[in-house]
Amino acid sequence: MQAIILSGGYGTRLKPITYTRQKSLLPILNKPMVAHIIEKLPHEVNRVVLAANYRSDQLEEYFKNNDFGMDIIVSMEDTPLGTAGAVKNASQYIDDTFFVLNSDIISSIDLQALLDFHRETKGLGTISLWPVENVSEFGVVALEDDGKITKFVEKPKKEDAPSNLINAGAYCLEQEVLDYIEKGKMVSMEKEIFPRIIADDKGFHGLQFEGYWMDVGRPSSYIDAHKMLMDKKGVKMWQGEHCILSGRFIYSCIGNKAIIGSSDLVDTIVYDEVTIGDDCRITSSIIGANCKIGADCVIENCVIGDREIIKPGTRLRDESVWTKPLPEGYPHQQIGNAVQK
């Protein structure tokens, strides 16, 4: 059995930390997001295909140095192809029932339960479902009692919504689904392919799960994911290896080899090999690798790129800090994403 992990895109909402790293390698509690996903796969999955484009070499390097006990392949896209286009591009590696998973969603989903339900229903596709309050921001499914999905309703008014359940970004599909996708085109699985399967009455189902679900594509939700997981582990701080720390840390994650003086960090993510001086207050921020932050700085709601130097006494609020040229190949503005969230 195989799994395709949608690892493409640039992560523009998380720039500038995505200027220098592949989006799915962004750490959650000091471990890449994609690693969290792979560790949840059922044991019978023996091949993972990473559909990627920007900085795919970093994925290849990571999996060369980290063994997950299965065949892991990076499937390159010359340009972003959307959720369905990326799957079709990776179809040469698929010879069985397969998962499709979004790399920027952290959730409590039981993928074995999703697979079991898919086999019971014997349809072409089964997707995970998550309840939301703000249905007008999502594509909502009409669901029958047996789990059969009869239609998607895009961003309905609350009173018109057939349910409060949205696509949660994990699919279990049969190979026949690949026949619906045109090769080499930007195609959305959710907006174009799934409605066709439903119209053909090929068997399309949804399974709701409980626990937690979070899209970590924005700085605020990326920080919230850390806080949520720390809460579940019963801690208010997460620390990497070989750190020298003197400060006070509340819901903050500190990377490896960090040196932090007597400063306060709240709701903050610090990457590897960062140095922070004394008497700083940093809140709701992301600090890239190898940054040096001088003493007596106040930083609030900021994203600071790798290797930036912040002078002592600096005050920053609601800023993205990047003083170097834009990396080659990175877009100047957000590129539309065919993933429906």
Candidate from 2-6, 122-126, 134-138, 295-299 with smallest mean pLDDT:
134-138
Q: Is the pLDDT of residue 244 over 80?
A: yes
Give me the mean pLDDT over the 74-88 stretch: 86
Q: Is the pLDDT of residue 338 over 50?
A: no
What's the DSSP call for residue 115? H
Q: Is the pLDDT of residue 337 over 70?
A: no
Locus of tokens 């053909």: 200
Locus of tokens 């397969």: 98
Give me the mean pLDDT over the 164-192 stretch: 92
Residue 91, SS3 per DSSP:
helix
Relative to beta strand 47-52, strand 320-321 is unpaired
For 2-215, CATH number?
3.90.550.10
Q: Is the pLDDT of residue 53 over 80?
A: yes
Q: Is the pLDDT of residue 24 over 80?
A: yes
Give me the mean pLDDT over the 92-111 stretch: 95
Residue 101, SS3 per DSSP:
strand
Whole-number pLDDT of residue 321: 97
What span, in angstroms and rounded, lies between the C-alpha atoms of 208 and 128? 6
Position 261, amino acid: G
This prediction's pTM: 0.91
Give me the mean pLDDT over the 57-74 stretch: 94
Whole-number pLDDT of residue 333: 57
Q: Is the pLDDT of residue 2 over 70?
A: yes
Whole-number pLDDT of residue 190: 86
Give me the mean pLDDT over the 313-327 stretch: 96
Candidate from 9-23, 111-125, 261-275 with smallest mean pLDDT:
9-23
What span, in angstroms and rounded, lies between the C-alpha atoms of 130 and 166? 5
Q: Is the pLDDT of residue 33 over 60?
A: yes
CATH class for domain 219-321? Answer: mainly beta
Q: Is the pLDDT of residue 340 over 50?
A: no
Whole-number pLDDT of residue 160: 86
Among 40, 151, 155, 257, the one annotated catalytic: 155
Relative to beta strand 165-173, strand 98-102 is antiparallel
Give me the mean pLDDT over the 220-232 stretch: 96
What's the DSSP call for residue 138? S
What span, in angstroms and rounded, lies between the C-alpha atoms of 27 and 121? 36
Domain boundaries, the chain: 2-215, 219-321
Give me the mean pLDDT over the 195-214 stretch: 94
Whole-number pLDDT of residue 339: 33
Q: Tell me: the pLDDT tens digits for 105-154?
A: 999 999 999 999 999 999 999 999 999 988 888 889 999 999 999 998 87
% of the chain exceeding 90 in pLDDT: 80
Q: Is the pLDDT of residue 88 over 50?
A: yes
Catalytic residue list contains 155: yes
Whole-number pLDDT of residue 336: 42
What span, in angstroms and rounded, lies between the C-alpha atoms of 172 and 52? 20
Q: What is the mean pLDDT of the chain?
A: 92
